[in-house]
A and B are shown apart, each in its own frame.
Chain A
Amino acid sequence: MDRIKITGIHKTFQLKPGQFVNVDGVESDSVTVLDGVDLTIRKGEFITLVGPSGSGKSVLLDIIGGLTLASSGTVEIDGKIITKPDPKTGYVFQQYALFPWRTALANIEYALEVRGVGRRERTDKARYFLSLFGLSGFEDRFPNQLSGGMQQRVAIARALAADPEVLLMDEPFAALDAQTRELLQAELLRIWEKINTTVVFVTHSIDEAIFLADRIVVMTARPGRVKEIIDVDLPRPRGGDIRASAQFNAHRGTVWEALRDEVNKAQKDWALSPAYAA
């Protein structure tokens, strides 16, 4: 069954007056970041989105989340066209985006609070999700008093507490050190297997993309389109040792093959417009 249907998404950003960008040798005052994205995501599927910088992965995520409007095209979740943030969707950001004045528990409660869940129920639920991420005992800590890995756990718990049917994750582990990152990848899979929500996960890391995904969507260099969709048929549940397997290695080759040209193209593209890149 299909959960998310993305049809012909285009997105063009108008630059500020006086700003220009060089697109294929032509000066332009607007940038097209997405140029016709079509993608259908099944219910309960784990999708990772990879592509060179500037391929519009994050913008696509914002459009699915209803945070940015597409210039044209539609995103449907369960048949409903998305024009604003949907209560069914949870969002996790690279920089955690926790409210620094709220404790870990109160941060998770926030997601329930704005949805009108009663005080008792939201506290119980927030506690449950904290414990799910092994953070019992840290209820009253402020984000500032938690490590990066713990903060991101709280942020994921916050996104999951509202029982989202779609979870959007924008490079959630990119700011963490390598060990914490692998730990959290495994934790995310463990919890995802339990709740079976649909996940769209943006990453720059090929290993991360393979380890997590049912399918990897490779985007082209700007303007972004879907270049290739790679099925990852590694068995689940997946443990860390799977990274050393021959199958995993083969996937690395496939993904890199799909990405290489796009990364090269993107580098040339950025080199042409240093002012914009800065």
Chain B
Amino acid sequence: MAYVTDKSGLGPIAPTRSRDAVRTVPAARKKRSLHLGSFGYGLPLLITFFLLWEIAPRLGWLNAIFFPPLSEVLVAWYRMLLDGTLSANIGISLQRAFIGFALALVVAIPLGFLMGRYSTFEKVSDLLVQTLRNTSQFALLPVFILLLGIGEASKVAITFYSSIFFLLINTIAGVKSVEPLLLKAARSMGTSDLDLFRKVILPASIPHIVSGARLAVKSSIFAVIGAEMLAAKSGLGYLIQNSQLMMETADMYAGILTMTFIGLIVNYLLVGFERWATGWKTPSDALPH
């Protein structure tokens, strides 16, 4: 009997299935172990990087005042975790990023539907969208502060601005990519215009919208950090910036690492969501007719 190993080399050894056996679970399982496999490949280089970070300041290759060893950064991180500094700042930063992103979602999806579906609407609005899209959100921060004040509203505005275009552009692309035959089939069954959006165009656009959302979330988190560095009295960006001013470099790196870690977690969550939401795209093996 023939045996195959999982591509990662880590997974269990499974006998090959006969050609016309009906497969039920395997597609998802194979993917997950593949995923862990590539994670395993990348680990040595990452560990080397962290080791260098630990050793270089201790051996005097780097100035320990500017580059404290990783262990000191972790100690600082643990201290801030215990005294609540971290959770308070993470909370406020994520709140700003999330509110801005959520607002962008609410605006971008209906707008994207209109622009994707009605070419006149797109022709009229496209130039304005392109102009706004190519204006840096940070260049606009002073404007937001003038209009909305130094408080929460201006932070939410910048995260909104940073995420909306990713969502909008991808929603438009999603709507345009809907197979015309599916629209025809839906019409042949007497689908109303509203149902056409809800039951055909929206689900067909989901893969595009979700990839837009991944970019948008990342962008809104980056933007909130930037905005907090420039004009805020709380949040992770403020923590990083303020630690640098106070020459508390270990705290500063702890803030940066936290940032990175949050970004990684959010990204993996969204990848997982994307896989779940587009599960119907995964084909299984050939079936009998």
Contact = CB atoms under 8 A, between A and B. Distances in A.
Partners in one complex: yes
Interface of A: 65, 67, 85-87, 89-91, 93, 95, 97, 99-102, 110-111, 113-115, 142-150, 158, 162, 176-177, 179-180, 183
Interface stretch (B4-12, B91-99, B139-147, B281-289): B281-289
B188 A180 contact: no
B289 A145 contact: no
Nearest to B284: A145
B184 A111 contact: no
Interface in B147-201: 179, 181-182, 184-192, 195, 199-200
The majority secondary structure among interface residues of chain A is loop
Interface residues of B, number: 28
Contacts of B199: 110, 113-114
B188 A147 contact: no
A114 B289 contact: no
A180 B281 contact: no
Instruction: Give the 10 A-B CB pairs with smallest separation, nearest first.
Output: A97-B185, A91-B188, A149-B289, A142-B280, A145-B284, A180-B289, A144-B283, A147-B287, A101-B203, A101-B280
5 contacts: A99-B203, A100-B280, A115-B190, A145-B287, A147-B288
B206 A93 contact: no
B70 interface: no
B204 interface: yes
A142 B279 CA distance: 9
A144 B287 contact: no
A114 B200 CA distance: 11
A62 to B, nearest CB: 8
Contacts of B282: 142, 144-145
Interface string B253-289: 0000000000000000000000000011111101111
A145 B181 CA distance: 20
